[in-house]
Amino acid sequence: MPVANADIARELDRIADLLDIEGANQFRVRAYRRAARIVDTLPRGVGEMLLAGEDLDDLPGIGKDLAEKIATLAQGRHLPMLNELEREVPPGITALLSLPSLGPKRVHVLHEQLGISNIAELAAAARAGKLRSLPRFGAAIEAALLKAVAERAEQPRRIMLRQAEQIAEPLLGRLRQVPDVLAAEVAGSYRRRRETVGDLDFVVSSNAAPAVIERFVHDEEVAQVIEHGPTRASVNLKHNLQLDLRAVLPASYGAALLYFTGSKAHNIALRRIAVAKGWKLNEYGLFEGDRQIAGVTEADVYIRLGLPFIPPELREDQGEVAAAQQGTLPALVKLADIRGDLHAHTIATDGRATLAAMAQAARERGYSYLAITDHSRRLAMAHGLGPRELTNQIEAIRRLNEKSSDCKILASIEVDILEDGKLDLPDSVLKELDLVVGAVHSHFEFPKVRQTERLLRAMDNRYLDIIAHPTGRLINQRPSYELDMVRLLRAAREHGCHLEVNAQPNRLDLPDTFCRLAADAGVKLAISTDAHGVEELAFMRYGVDTARRGWLQANDVLNTRSWRELKSMLRQR
């Protein structure tokens, strides 16, 4: 079986990490990181592209040498270059990069001065107070690392939703092609669109369950069979992910899908309603005595319980059952409601596509507008724009808009919010823009009060419209910085500022819980992709997933409006 894109990207990122720790040329390091991002965001599998005879070096930013390495990884073979790097760099050292505040330079210092090559050795050195005297460290970073190590040990292993999707969807597709399968779906936290997934739950409708189970356990992605019965199976996949399959008769399919989608707390709430009516609800159906009264579809079960259908994203026992009983369930925002994207990058800074290519891709998606938000000058690693370069880009965008009116390109910027809360560019430049997006890219270690004050001062600037990825988290890599979200939302409402739901799969920031808090506070949010290439505009659906989990309706989202309507909602220039 071809290797999943996410696994190829992970290997490329590993090469970049190892090169970076060794102090290799930064252009070389960035080439591998760029290749990893391109592969991870491809709309099709690399293996599928190779089978179709497509040349990988036709991809932007991928030369012949990198194309050959990607093809090798896609075929499940190990790269000799990676073997060599792994011999030179101690095993376990790259895991240090997953901890907050640790980049390649600090990891290099740890290894050279203290001989640290894994997380256990780091924790021991931190507990002994050995880190604080190292260059580029200090007592605050030492304490933060100890806290991160402790939190890491307590967390179960979960993978990002997009990674799970790249594993689950091909399996689901093959399962649906089995002759005896009438219907199949992925349930569990995956269907509820949680940001991370611990395992995969598949539910199948079939009149020949044993044949389906037998066919499934021999799938090429299965590495180990844990349990194998006539109606169920549990396996470990080659991706070190457990998958549980349940096959039921068509009469029970809806009830089984409801049960295995969960959450457990939501299911308990439904069972209480059933018990109060003298009924029994389980994975086989809703029963009155021995007679099944619902279960073919999920909607049947909800209707018999006196409830409207509750979307899977809401099934967390966070008030959705009571809202359903009271007729106040939200009409959740849909991907089709989105009219444009308010955060995207081009090759002017760290993007992979030209201004014209991004504009064309937005038109092809049927968008009414696209904001080009290249980085400001402070973010040196992204080759940020200064006032002169930004002015030139504004003029280029205006010329582009003169040629086409079906999708307006908005002149914008992702401006750095500096340590003191000031913005990285002068007002004289910002006032010329259609939209200003601000973001924190440094000093994540600031304590809660100082970090909150930093963002509050940024909102004092009348030209700041949206705060991007407001908590700064990277899923499974970096926790959110400390922030008083209630205070921030109150100030956002008072200032007429807005927050972003960043749709990058490794961000999904604002998280769903804060989305709901923002809506309750009357703060409108922008669902944006932070796209660095045309293919990443498709990440919008992950942002919509997060917004739906946060109970957001179309009216709560800025970019469900036309540009004319949106412009009137932004601050007066």
Distance separating alpha carbons of residues 450 and 456, to the nearest angstrom: 10
| Residue-range definition of the domain harbouring residue 516 | 335-569
3 state DSSP class of 226: strand
Q: DSSP readout, 87-132? A: HHS-TTGGGGGGSTT--HHHHHHHHHHH---SHHHHHHHHHTT-ST
Q: Which tokens sit at 331? A: 């009409």
68 and 129 belong to one structural domain = yes
The domain boundary residue, chosen from 224, 248, 272: 248
pTM: 0.84
Between 102-111, 201-210, 356-365, 544-553, the lowest mean confidence (pLDDT) is in 102-111
167 and 59 belong to one structural domain = no
- Which of the four pLDDT bands, split at 50, 70 and 90, describes residue 172? very high
Asked whether the predicted pLDDT for residue 573 surpasses 50, the reply is no
Q: How far is CA 6 from CA 21, 49, 224, in A?
A: 22, 15, 21
pLDDT score of 379: 67
Q: Is residue 497 part of a domain?
A: yes
165 and 33 belong to one structural domain = no
3 state DSSP class of 79: coil
pLDDT score of 290: 93
The pLDDT tens digits for 447-493 are: 999 999 999 999 999 999 999 999 999 998 888 999 999 999 999 99
**Residue 364 neighbours by CB under 8 Å, 6+ apart:** none
Q: Is residue 186 part of a domain?
A: yes
Between 140-144, 200-204, 524-528, the lowest mean confidence (pLDDT) is in 140-144
Q: Are 74 and 9 in contact (CB under 8 A)?
A: no
Q: Which tokens sit at 15? A: 């090469």
**Residue 414 neighbours by CB under 8 Å, 6+ apart:** 343, 345, 373, 374, 375, 376, 437, 438, 439, 468
323 and 357 belong to one structural domain = no
pLDDT score of 150: 79
User: What's the whole-number average pLDDT of the chain?
Assistant: 90
Asked whether the predicted pLDDT for residue 182 surpasses 60, the reply is yes
Q: Is residue 253 part of a domain?
A: no
Q: Is residue 254 part of a domain?
A: no
The pLDDT tens digits for 75-96 are: 888 888 887 887 777 767 777 8
295 and 164 belong to one structural domain = no
Q: How far is CA 78 from CA 3, 70, 223, 224, in A?
A: 12, 10, 18, 22
Asked whether the predicted pLDDT for residue 572 surpasses 60, the reply is no
503 versus 102: which is more confidently predicted? 503
The pLDDT tens digits for 227-264 are: 999 999 999 998 788 999 999 999 999 999 999 999 99
Peptide bond into 568 cis (omega under 30): no
3 state DSSP class of 179: coil
As a whole-number percent, the residues of the chain with pLDDT over 70 amount to: 98
pLDDT score of 376: 93
pLDDT score of 21: 79
**Residue 436 neighbours by CB under 8 Å, 6+ apart:** 412, 413, 415, 423, 430, 463, 464, 465, 466
pLDDT score of 10: 84
Q: Give the CATH number, domain containing residue 488.
A: 3.20.20.140
72 and 206 belong to one structural domain = no
Residues facing residue 528 across a β-bridge: 502
pLDDT score of 381: 64
298 and 343 belong to one structural domain = no
Asked whether the predicted pLDDT for residue 128 surpasses 70, the reply is yes
Asked whether the predicted pLDDT for residue 534 surpasses 70, the reply is yes
pLDDT score of 448: 93
3 state DSSP class of 497: coil
Count of structural domains, the chain: 4
Q: Give the CATH number, domain containing residue 308.
A: 3.30.210.10
Asked whether the predicted pLDDT for residue 402 surpasses 60, the reply is yes
Q: Which tokens sit at 442? A: 């440094």
* Closest residue by Cα to residue 88 from 20, 155, 153, 138: 20
Q: Are 241 and 199 in contact (CB under 8 A)?
A: yes
Give the CA angle between residues 501, 372, 399 to the nearest 5°. 155
Q: What does residue 178 show for φ and ψ, rounded to 5 degrees?
A: -65, 130
Q: Is residue 555 part of a domain?
A: yes
Strands (E), 268-406: 280-282, 285-288, 291-294, 340-344, 369-372
